[in-house]
Structure 1
Amino acid sequence: MATFLIITAILAVGVPVSRGGRCVPGAPCDVSADDRSVLQAALAAAQTYNNQSNDSFLFRPQRIIKAQRQVVKGVRFLLDLDLCRTVCRKRDKPQKNLQDCDLQPPGPLHQMFRCHVEIWVVPWSHHRVTQRLDCQSERREQSFGQSERRMMVSE
């Protein structure tokens, strides 16, 4: 009987992430890039990038490539996305909505980063932590990495 329980426990570790379209509790689960909470997490990633970058222009998400959500004492988002330079300058009057900033047109000022971000959100306490933000330039000239930045969500 004890052997059966040990084997069952070992096999349980290899349980698939989803069954019949449902997520296994505690495991990352694929979600739509159009999900409202995913879009908010992508904007939070851009905010973290903009706060850490020395660039004169703001960056915003252009495309979410992959999105996962994991429920762990809050919600953890794992996103792969493209951040692109906008025409909005950091020194100018702050934009109400980063999405209102147009992207830089193709040319010398156009720049895009492919990023992986992990953001942990605790909605009931308005707490957000960017646990990981790794970005690689599309030109492979620069890379930007950041870990454990704490920010409060203002909603």
Structure 2
Amino acid sequence: MFVWFWFVVCVFAAGRCPNAKHVMTGQPQKVPVSGTGVVKAARFAVVEFNRANTEELFAYKIVNITSAKMQIVAGINYILDVQLGRTMCKRRDTDDSEPCALHPEPKECQCCFVVTDVPWENSHILTQSKCHHE
């Protein structure tokens, strides 16, 4: 609800200020890659990626979030470009690969994730995951 309040305030302000950039409802907007919601969505996406990546023995973790957009829909879509690195932790041993050290034989992956967050339902869904190894 808080997010919707600020969204309405920003849209209203954009309409009142002649120099403000016009924001279209539903249009993805760039957001800082270090934002709390972005980082939370990226970490959730990596956990889901590791669960689904059954052919890999080791877990991956975030090396860099290269870009982030936020889209207001029936919730919030976080559209993320994330660079992942293979860790020393076994994929099945941990849900959180962040504390794991990177593997000495580097293997990286560039991913585009879309995470849909519905805060009032406390729901996160990885709606898109497209990755390729570098």
Length-normalised TM-score, structure 2: 0.77
Length, aligned pairs only: 115
Q: Does 1:112 align with 2:113?
A: no
* Higher relative contact order (Cα pairs below 8 Å, separated by 6+ residues): 2
Query: Following TM superposition, where does structure 1 have runs of at least 4 consecutive aligned residues deviating by more than 6 angstroms?
Result: none
Identity of matched residues, %: 27
* Residues 1:124 and 1:55: Cα distance change in structure 2 (over 3 Å): same
Q: Does 1:98 align with 2:94?
A: no
Larger Rg: 1 or 2? 1
Q: Which residue of 1 aligns with 2:130?
A: 134
RMSD: 1.8
AA aligned to 1:99 is: E
Q: Tell me the secondary structure at the aligned position of residue 39 of structure 1.
A: helix
Matches within 5 A, 1:6-155: 20=20, 23-53=23-53, 54-92=55-93, 94=94, 97-105=96-104, 107=105, 110-138=106-134
Q: Distance in 2 between matches of 1:23 and 1:30?
A: 11
Q: Deviations over 1:19-69 (max 9, x none)?
A: 746743321000001001100111111111101112111111110111000
* Residues 1:88 and 1:75: Cα distance change in structure 2 (over 3 Å): same
AA aligned to 2:98 is: Q
Name which of structure 1's ranges 60-69 and 121-130 shifts more when overlaid on structure 2: 121-130
Would you tell me which structure has more helix in proportion to its own residues?
A: 2
* Residues 1:130 and 1:99: Cα distance change in structure 2 (over 3 Å): same
Q: Tell me the secondary structure at the aligned position of residue 100 of structure 1.
A: coil
Q: CA deviation at 1:89?
A: 1.1
AA aligned to 1:128 is: H
AA aligned to 1:64 is: I
Consecutive unaligned residues in structure 2, runs of 5 or more: 1-18
Q: Distance in 2 between matches of 1:22 and 1:44?
A: 31
Q: Distance in 2 between matches of 1:21 and 1:46?
A: 33
Q: CA deviation at 1:91?
A: 4.0
